[in-house]
Amino acid sequence: MRKWLIIATLLLPLLAAAQNAPGGQSLASTLDVYVFPSKGQDSSKQSEDESACYQWAVSNSGVDPFDLQKQAEYDEQLTDAQMQAAQNTGTGRGAQGMVRGAAAGALIGGIANGHHGSRHGAAWGAGLGLVHGRRVAREEQRNAEASVQAQGAARSAATEQDRENFKKAFSVCLESKNYMVKY
């Protein structure tokens, strides 16, 4: 009998919290923060305290984690768009190289061998210019993609740091209200 009383005493607050929270989750659990009432606070008191601490953490950290989620989604879309643009970097470099090479080859061939040499030099110059232009284009594309990836990683790290700062503020507030907190 005593076992059942102890189990009921431990489980009733948890069941009440699950029933009172939207979708069966508390505010803290939606933020991936684990909260345990160490002074026997009931679920409605815990919900009230979590709400107050959420507001306090937003005002003190300058971060609203639900806005961070939207920002993270926007950052991901931005990175995808920038990556698509980076993949088009260097487009036309082969043709530009071919034209420049043909002009240079014609000039050199004309000086060295006259009119007949200019056509032969233009053909060689165009081929070499095309190869060089494509090589430059690939290098530009790799550099642009690496830059986009670095910028995306930096934005992601900044967002994660903001989320971490919010969780610290949220936890400090809840701990001051006699809850054990882990995230």
pLDDT tens-digit map of 63-81: 999 998 888 888 899 998 9
CA 14/CA 41 separation, integer angstroms: 11
**Please, are residues 104 and 61 in contact by the beta-carbon 8 Å criterion?**
no
State the average pLDDT for the chain. Answer: 81
CA dihedral 72, 78, 84, 90 (to 10 degrees): -130
Say what percent of the chain tops pLDDT 90.
Answer: 37
Tokens of 178: 């006699």
Instruction: Name, in order, each residue with C-beta under 8 angstroms of 173's C-beta and a sequence gap of 6 or more.
Output: 52, 53, 56, 57
Summarised one tens digit per residue, pLDDT across range 150-177 is: 998 999 999 999 999 999 999 999 999 9
**pLDDT value for 1:** 47
Say what percent of the chain tops pLDDT 70.
Answer: 84
CA 132/CA 101 separation, integer angstroms: 9
Q: Mean pLDDT of residues grouped by 10 in the chain (183 residues)?
A: 43 40 73 93 94 96 92 89 84 78 75 70 78 84 89 91 96 96 93
The kind and range of the H/E element at 36 are strand 34-37
State which residues form the domain around 122: 2-182
CA 34/CA 167 separation, integer angstroms: 11
Is the pTM for the entire model greater than 0.85? Answer: no
Give the total number of structural domains in the chain. 1
